[in-house]
Copies of this chain bind each other. A is one copy, B any other.
Amino acid sequence: MKDAISILRQCDIQPTPQRIAVVEYVLQSKSHPSADDVLSYARKKCPTISRATVYNTLNLLVERGLLGMQTIREGAVVFDPNIERHHHFVDNETGAIYDIPWDQLEVKGKEKLKDFEVVEFQVILRGRRKKT
């Protein structure tokens, strides 16, 4: 992954230590962290960082298209560094969220929905992850 500072610069966001801490965590995360998860991590690198700054930064990253935001879990929005189109699988037992590559599923019939102009869509699957 490119380093946090260049990523921020590239999007015309001033790379402050607080924002770097947030970006470093959230953009390389394999899980789907909540804002609070991000705050916990960021405080390790930057103990004085406030909740407001984390929310501000996350919202900024989402606005700029660097970060996805998903409302598939109860209680809190989760963030997703994968900004390619993809689907999601939620493990009902652990709450873990996994990405499903876009081309592994095909959704047919959208074009027949006359009342709706579909801008984006995804499949949300729930169940158990098989032990490997």
Contact = CB atoms under 8 A, between A and B. Distances in A.
B110 A105 contact: yes
Interface of A is mostly: strand
A72 B100 CA distance: 18
Q: How large is the interface on A (under 10, 10 to 19, 20 to 34, 35 or more residues)?
A: 35 or more
Contacts of A116: 89, 98, 125, 127-130
A106 interface: yes
Contacts of A100: 113
A44 interface: no
Interface of A: 71-74, 77, 89, 92, 98, 100, 104-110, 112-130, 132
Ranked 5 nearest A-B pairs via Cβ: A119-B127, A121-B125, A105-B109, A106-B108, A118-B127
